[in-house]
Amino acid sequence: MTQNSCSRKNSKLKDTHYNMGHKRRGWALVFDQHNFDNGYASTRQGSEHDRARLNQTLSAMDFQIEMHEDSTLAEIECTLKEMSARDHSDCDCFLLVFMSHGLEGKLAARDQIFDVSLLWHSFTPEVSPSLKGKPKIFVLQSCQGHGRQKGVWIETSRDEDDEKEIELVPSYQIPERADFLLALSTIPGFVSYRSIAIGSPFIQALCEELDKRGNDDMLTMMTSVIREVAINFNICNPQRPSDPCYKQLPSLISTLIKTLKFPKKVKCDDRRKRKGKDICEKYSKKKRKKL
């Protein structure tokens, strides 16, 4: 290896932030499974609130959103294949949201259950090379079982480690590759809640955090989302106040190797105002001269 190649390698190692300065933010692929064939799963009432909130939040973050509702497994496979084959070279990242019923390691299409790993296996470097080295974010709103988490009172003067009742290591199988982030609405073995009136606490908390602090580090924001749902969301029976309240605990799997932030995309008109000169026109003149 030559000295120059070593210098280039060392330069890349010093880059601690993902490059979010591409022309486009990237595609956001959203699946909302609301209805199911032959009644094999119940209608997910309230999911329209999550869909609307995601559309608002992701649009503000400059994502190009593609919504898919009530997709069959064949349609999901086709959509994933088509998306992974696109050229993502001028994109910062890729984001996928899947909202449905589920069990541990499984999700529900409109017509059948499938393995959750199908979602991210379509976006490994081998399958989608233009996403190599770019953050790939997966958000899953679904149950991972039938268990219900009870609340545990924490005394602020005590070590919180003493109060652990549940193993918090998610059991999803993910690729042994860098640059993946998987945000789960609950931990394995437990249900994930959804309100008919306002949607799911996880998606709503995620969107609120991205709206307020979208330029912060993604892992820091996700920790805030997990804390918000874990502490402030409760399912209680007002008719039976002596019964325990139930909780929900989102979880996170990350193989990100750099800091991920979402700075606002600067358009040409914004650059003009900020720098006091017509950058876009200057660029256009240079381009015309080359032609």
In tens, the pLDDT along 197-231 reads 888 889 999 999 999 998 899 999 999 999 998 88
Q: Residue range 265-287: average pLDDT? A: 51
Active site residue 68: no
The string of pLDDT tens digits covering residues 98-148 is 998 877 788 989 999 999 999 999 999 999 999 999 999 999 987 664 455
Check 78, 101, 121, 236 and give the catalytic one. Answer: 101
- Supply the pLDDT for residue 199: 86
- Residue 172 pLDDT > 70: no
- Supply the pLDDT for residue 17: 95
Q: How confident is the model at residue 186 (pLDDT cuts 50, 70, 90)?
A: confident
- Supply the pLDDT for residue 189: 66
Vertex 255 angle, CA 81 and 212, to 5°: 90
Question: Which of 90-94, 162-166, 257-261, 275-279 is least confident?
Answer: 162-166
Instruction: Give me the phi and psi of 27, to 5 degrees please.
Output: -85, 145
Check 49, 91, 93, 143 and give the catalytic one. Answer: 143
Rounded Cα distance between 137 and 155, Å, is 35
SS3 66: strand
Can you list the domains of the chain with their CATH numbers? 24-260 (3.40.50.1460), 266-291 (no CATH)
Active site residue 207: no
Q: Residue range 172-196: average pLDDT? A: 75
| Cα separations in angstroms, 264 against 22, 23, 270 | 12, 12, 11
Most confident of 145-154, 186-195, 261-270: 261-270
Q: How confident is the model at residue 55 (pLDDT cuts 50, 70, 90)?
A: very high
- Supply the pLDDT for residue 32: 94
Q: What pairs with residue 278 in β-bridges?
A: none
- Supply the pLDDT for residue 22: 97
- Supply the pLDDT for residue 237: 65
- Supply the pLDDT for residue 30: 98
- Residue 173 pLDDT > 60: no
- Supply the pLDDT for residue 207: 96
Average pLDDT, the chain: 79
Q: Residue range 170-196: average pLDDT? A: 72
SS3 281: helix
Q: What pairs with residue 31 in β-bridges?
A: 68, 98
Question: Which of 55-59, 63-67, 268-272 is least confident?
Answer: 268-272
Sheet of strand 102-103: strand arrangement: 102-103, 106-108, 113-115
Closest CA to 133 of 172, 83, 92, 192: 92
